[in-house]
Amino acid sequence: MDKVYIISVFAENKPGRLERITKVLAEANINILAFSITSTNGFGIIKFMVDRCKEAFQLLKEKGFTVSLNETIGIEMKDQPGGLYEVVKILSSKGINIESAAVYVAETRKKAYLIVEVEDTQKAMEALKGENLIFLKPIE
Amino acid sequence: MPFWNKELETLPRQKLEELQFSRLKKVLTRVYQKVPHYRKKFQDTGITPTKLKSLDDIKYFPFTTKEDLFVDYPYGLLTVSPEKVIRLHTSSGTTGKPKAIFFSKKDINNSAELIARCLVMTGATKGDILQNSMTYGLFTGAFVMHYGAEKVGILVIPAGPGNTERQINLMKDFGTTMLHITPSYALYVASVLYDKGIDPKKELKLKRAYLGAEPYSEETRRKIENMLGIDIYNCYGLTEMNGPGVGFECPYKDGLHIWEDNFLMEIINPETGEPLPDGEIGELVLTTLNREAMPLIRYRTRDLTRIISEPCRCGRTHRRISRILGRSDDMFIVKGVNIFPQQIEQVLMGIKGVAQNYQIVLESYDEMVVRVEIDRELFDGKIEKLIKLKEEIIEKIRSATLVKPKVELLEPGTLPVSEGKAKRVIDKRTI
């Protein structure tokens, strides 16, 4: 079981923010695999899982974005009714609280992964060992 | 403890006050004889310079305010013929006419003498290299410092503000040891150094910086000191009183010495004009004791401070004032509450996760919006943390000012960078 990484970018709620960020990734030929936006009154955080995470992180940092690299766990879900439930049930039985999540669909209609950020990645991973789960491997 | 003019700087109090008295008597007589505006003001108050029997009697003389400088503008307050003045400086004049202050040759030399005292007091010597990043021009800040530093034998780099890339190259190439700079620009330069991965402690030779021209908090001083690994000295001045060098910190950094052989200081109640005893907070009022071209009598600075009369460990007998607590001009009123931008700054600089730059916007409906850049290095991708940060800022400003602000968290680099005086308050109210 390996940690996978997700990039978080701070963004004020203003038009054009997402455009600027995705432009940087597009120009560097970095592929976005999953993404999510959490926003509150006035600002938000955009999270990306990409194929070259560390490179994307450096690149965005150099371009002046407020960005962080976060550890996550990727868990395979069955693409069928109850697929997400199966995974979440295990997480909650271990007392693992999801702080934020995204879904990565690896091969359309075949595999999907729930990408979860939790308080203590290492601890959560220990807790999930031995469970009948398939984890996503880091792409780079 | 080094001195530039040990005799005058350590003159026993009694002697210092005798010197003040004789100079005060002379200056009152001069303005009474030579400046119609002063003569009329004195006569309206029913006073003549002969009434001055002790230093305390200054309280019977009328104040000079900013408005008085415009009455016979521009040359009306001169006590010498216009051909004896060789330099004009003005205040920024952002609102209407600028205040014009004239210097004779003797005045220029004298203001440089006072700066020389200040610089030597902080340990500066011949061989130091001063990068003067204040604006050269009508603003007094750069020139007065420049002349004073040259007097000490310091190499001056007249960099002026702006062009941060070049500022950094100058520091690197010429081994700048001292900076004269505004606090907001110092913060910006420090953050650019950081972004470029230049460690000022290892790659630069900076030892100290002199910060002035805008108010800033103790927290900001510490922040810049830590970022640059240097000593920062607070310096106080105003165009009307020569510019920088009126008050300056000694190495004990416990208040600013006012050169009392050159300035007579009083603290008054800003509402009633009544003199206040040492130690009490009020408005600083200054009289020039040694100025030739344009003496000013009981000039109301609008700056709020208090006199520290306890002797200083540095041995100087000139009394100190506390750091300026606010300029009554900077003060704004929201929801009926008087607020100084420094109160907000003090709160912000004490919160982890907040970067250097901020702005206060006053919206109609009397709302105070505090716009704050977050610290890029402390961002960890957790929205809960940002929400908490925002709540912490709101709560701390509310408890410091009694007004609950709206807080906007911004990306670093969003707010305009100031290279001169930072514009911290934007008032959009139309009332």
Please give, rounded to a whole number of angstroms, the shortest distance from the CA of B364 to a CA of chain A: 19
* Separate counts of helices (H) and strands (E) for chain B: 12, 21
Residues B144-174 pLDDT 10s: 999 999 999 999 999 998 889 999 999 999 9
Cβ–Cβ contact B194 with A under 8 A? no
> How close A100 comes to chain B (CA, Å)?
9
- Chain B interface, best mutation among A7, A9, A10, A39, by max B CB count within 10 A: A10
- Asked if A43's CB is within 8 angstroms of B409's CB, the reply is yes
pLDDT value at residue B97:
76
Q: Identify which of A40, A47, A70 has the shortest CB distance to residue B387.
A: A40
Instruction: Identify the band that residue B265 occupies on the pLDDT scale cut at 50, 70 and 90.
Output: very high
Does position B27 have pLDDT exceeding 80, yes or no? yes
pTM: 0.69
* Nearest CB neighbour to B381, from listed A12, A42, A68: A68
Nearest chain A Cα to B372, which residue? A12
Which candidate in A66, A71, A120 is best for mutational testing of the B interface (most B CBs within 10 A)?
A66
Q: What is the pLDDT of residue B328?
A: 65
ipTM: 0.79
The more confident residue out of A78 and B259 is B259
Per-residue pLDDT of B81-112, as tens digits, reads 999 999 999 876 555 678 899 999 999 999 99
Paired tokens of B44: 């309206």
B412 in contact with A at a CB cutoff of 8 Å?
Answer: yes
Question: What letter represents residue B97's amino acid?
Answer: K
B391 Cβ under 8 Å from any chain A Cβ:
no
Quick count: other Cβ atoms within 10 Å of Cβ B385? 15
Tell me which chain A residue has its CA closest to the CA of residue B377: A66
Smallest Cβ–Cβ distance between B411 and the set A10, A69, A100 belongs to A10
Question: How far apart are the CA of B179 and the nearest CA of chain A, in angstroms?
Answer: 27
**Strands B282-288 and B299-305, bridge-based pairing:** antiparallel
Among B374, B383, B408, beta carbon nearest to A66: B374
pLDDT (0 to 100) of residue B423:
76
Instruction: Identify the three-state secondary structure at position A7.
Output: strand
Is B383 in Cβ contact with A38 (below 8 Å)?
yes
- Asked if A68 and B380 come within 8 Å (Cβ–Cβ), the reply is yes
Give me the half-sphere count of Cα atoms (radius 13 Å) on the Cβ side of residue B345.
24
* Residues ≥6 apart with Cβ < 8 Å to B36: B72, B76
Q: Decide if B380 and A99 are in contact by the 8 Å CB cutoff.
A: no
Q: How far is CA B232 from CA B11, B59, B220, B224, B310, in A?
A: 27, 35, 10, 8, 23
Per-residue tokens: B107: 């005045």
pLDDT of residue B17: 97
- Please determine, for residue B369, whether its predicted confidence score (pLDDT) is greater than 70: yes
User: Are A12 and B379 an interchain contact pair (Cβ–Cβ within 8 Å)?
Assistant: no
Q: Smallest CA–CA separation between B388 and chain A, in Å?
A: 12
Decide: helix, strand or coil at residue A73: strand
Contact residues, chain A to chain B, C-beta under 8 Å: 6-8, 10-12, 38, 40, 42-45, 47, 64-70, 99-100, 117
Over its length of 140 residues, how does chain A's per-residue pLDDT go in tens digits? 788 899 999 988 777 888 889 899 999 999 998 888 888 878 889 999 999 989 999 999 988 899 999 999 999 988 788 888 999 999 999 999 988 888 888 776 677 788 888 888 999 988 888 888 888 888 66
Contact call for B411 and A65, based on CB within 8 A: yes
Chain B: residue nearest A14 by CA? Answer: B410
What is the CA B380 to chain-centroid distance, rounded? Answer: 38
B411 vs A: CB within 8 A: yes
Give the number of A-B residue pairs with CB atoms closer than 8 Å.
50
A1-10, B32-41, B46-55: least confidently modelled range:
A1-10
**DSSP line for B154-222:** -EEE---S--HHHHHHHHHHHT--EEEE-HHHHHHHHHHHHHTT--HHHH----EEEE-SS---HHHHH
Contact B298, B283 (CB under 8 A): no
CB contact under 8 A, A66 and B379: yes
Determine which of A102-111, A122-131, B17-26, B30-39 has the lowest per-residue pLDDT on average. A102-111
**What is the enclosing helix (H) or strand (E) of B300?**
strand B299-305
CB contact under 8 A, A10 and B380: no
How many Å apart are CA B236 and CA B302, to the nearest integer?
A: 13
**pLDDT computed for residue B419 by the predictor:** 62
pLDDT tens for B382-404 read 888 999 999 999 999 999 888 89
CA distance B219 to chain A (A): 24
Q: Is B280 on the interface with A (CB under 8 A)?
A: no
Mean pLDDT of B276-305: 95
